[in-house]
Amino acid sequence: KHEVPQRPWIIFGLDVSKQGFGAVGVHFANIGVAILMSFLKGNESGVHDQCAMYFLNFFIDCTFGVFIVYQLQTQIQARLKNWPAFKTIGDYGQLSGGGQVPGGDIWATIVFVQSHAEQLMPMLNIWAQQLAAFLSCLAANKLLVALIIDITYQKMNAICNFLFGPVQQYPRVELIIVMVCCPGILTMLQFYLFDHILKKPEEPEKAAGCEPLLNPQPKKQQQPNK
């Protein structure tokens, strides 16, 4: 309700789907890194807690990793600015034959997609290129995070033991905290931040006059004509 102007459902779906594919890839990458690190480094540290290492991996992704992805995405856009797909991130062009995607409710959008699938192909082509760039940024970030964890594993492991020591003797409780509770909170934060990176920037003339979310200005009362 607070987004002005609101994105059509098709555009919103394309924006969100990029995060969806990225989240699936990062999830399995985090599991792989956690297993690999605990297997290679566990004997050195005397601890083999894959759940704690997964949480640490995920936490770094949702904080430091967002900044890294933003910087990489900015660099890709700057170097590929002459490519139609990267002139503006989140801009998927027009339908085949011209025209913009319609607004309206979700059901009208579903009907439109079913009956105009071929007209959406140019937009999907641009979306696929932007998705590939975003996934490459996530992959580069994951390699960097894995390298940081590898170099600082002893300290990271100590942090994990401090945070999850009280529940390490209860594997199911630790699993729920690591795989459900913490990701739920961190994912909302990451989704909000990535959405601002992946969506089309608001045009100043369209956003002008919109009431800000924080500290809205009180409306001036008109003085009656004398």
Residue 46: predicted pLDDT: 52
Q: Is residue 37 part of a domain?
A: yes
Asked if residues 90 and 198 have their Cβ atoms less than 8 Å apart, the reply is yes
Q: Is residue 193 part of a domain?
A: yes
Q: For residue 65, give the amino acid letter.
A: G
Q: Under 8 Å CB-to-CB from 177, ≥6 apart: which residues?
A: 55, 164, 167
Sign of the Cα pseudo-torsion (18, 19, 20, 23, in order): positive
Look up the pTM and report it: 0.77
Q: Is residue 11 part of a domain?
A: no
Q: Is residue 13 part of a domain?
A: no
Q: Is residue 151 part of a domain?
A: yes
The total domain count for the chain is 1
- Separation between Cα atoms, residue 139 and residue 73, nearest integer Å: 12
Q: Is residue 45 part of a domain?
A: yes
Q: Is residue 210 part of a domain?
A: no
pLDDT tens across the length of the chain (226 residues): 566 678 888 999 999 999 999 988 888 888 887 777 767 765 555 555 677 777 888 888 888 999 999 999 999 988 988 888 888 888 898 888 777 788 778 888 888 888 888 888 989 999 999 999 999 999 999 999 888 888 887 888 788 778 887 887 888 888 888 878 888 888 888 888 899 888 888 764 444 444 444 444 455 555 555 4
Q: Is residue 177 part of a domain?
A: yes
Half-sphere exposure of 31 (CA within 13 A, CB side): 7
Structural domain span for residue 125:
30-197
